[in-house]
Amino acid sequence: MIQIAKDTITGILNNIGVKQVYYDDDAFNRSKANPSAIVLANKEELKDKRRKVCIWTDPATGKRYLRSQRYERILPIEVNIFHRTEELVDEIARALLAGLPDGIDDGQGNWTPIEPSTIDWPPDQKERALAVVFIKFIGGIYQDRELVAYTKLTGGNTSIQ
């Protein structure tokens, strides 16, 4: 999920004109271009959910499965946006939030909602302005169990398909 989240945000940033996007803490010292961004994944939070999500059919075999969510994964992504002035940073932050979808597919057929949470404006930036946009990607850990179909009930004998 981390790579999908970073790719989603990077795609939006590239579309709005941010060409230099970094993915590590060292970039705070070497990133000098305007505009630029540093995308960092923070500590994930896990919550016990244990809920039924859907019933789906495998098109190849025709078998039906029950998908259950065991845990909810909340991945906070920190997007540090740099530019010459706070107004220019604000334009990029607004464009990022406007381009952010409500959610994405996690690559396994599960819907992952995306929720922006806060924007921080750290003071005392010497050479340029900085805004930190926090975005939560809310995915999960899922388990599929095959549903058994009963085809015929007769006199105490049950036929299972």
**Domain span at 1:** 1-46+75-132
Structural domain count, the chain: 1
Read off the pLDDT of each residue in 120-147 and give the average, rounded to a whole number. 87
> Residue 126 falls within a domain, yes or no?
yes
In terms of average pLDDT, the best of 23-32, 73-82, 136-145 is 73-82
> Residue 66 falls within a domain, yes or no?
no
Instruction: Report which secondary-structure segment, H or E, holds 10.
Output: helix 2-15
Read off the pLDDT of each residue in 3-20 and give the average, rounded to a whole number. 94
Read off the pLDDT of each residue in 56-72 and give the average, rounded to a whole number. 86
Report yes or no: 134 and 75 within 8 Å, Cβ to Cβ.
no
3-state SS, residue 73: strand
Read off the pLDDT of each residue in 138-142 and give the average, rounded to a whole number. 86
Compute CA distances 121 → 9, 26, 75, 83, 115, whole Å: 19, 20, 21, 13, 19
Give how far the C-alpha of residue 155 lies from the chain's centroid of Cα atoms, to the nearest Å.
52
- E strand intervals along 6-128: 20-22, 36-41, 45-57, 64-83, 103-105, 111-120
CA 139-144-149 angle, to 5 degrees, is: 145
Q: Say if residue 74's pLDDT is above 70.
A: yes
Q: For residue 156, what pLDDT is reported?
A: 59
> Residue 151 falls within a domain, yes or no?
no
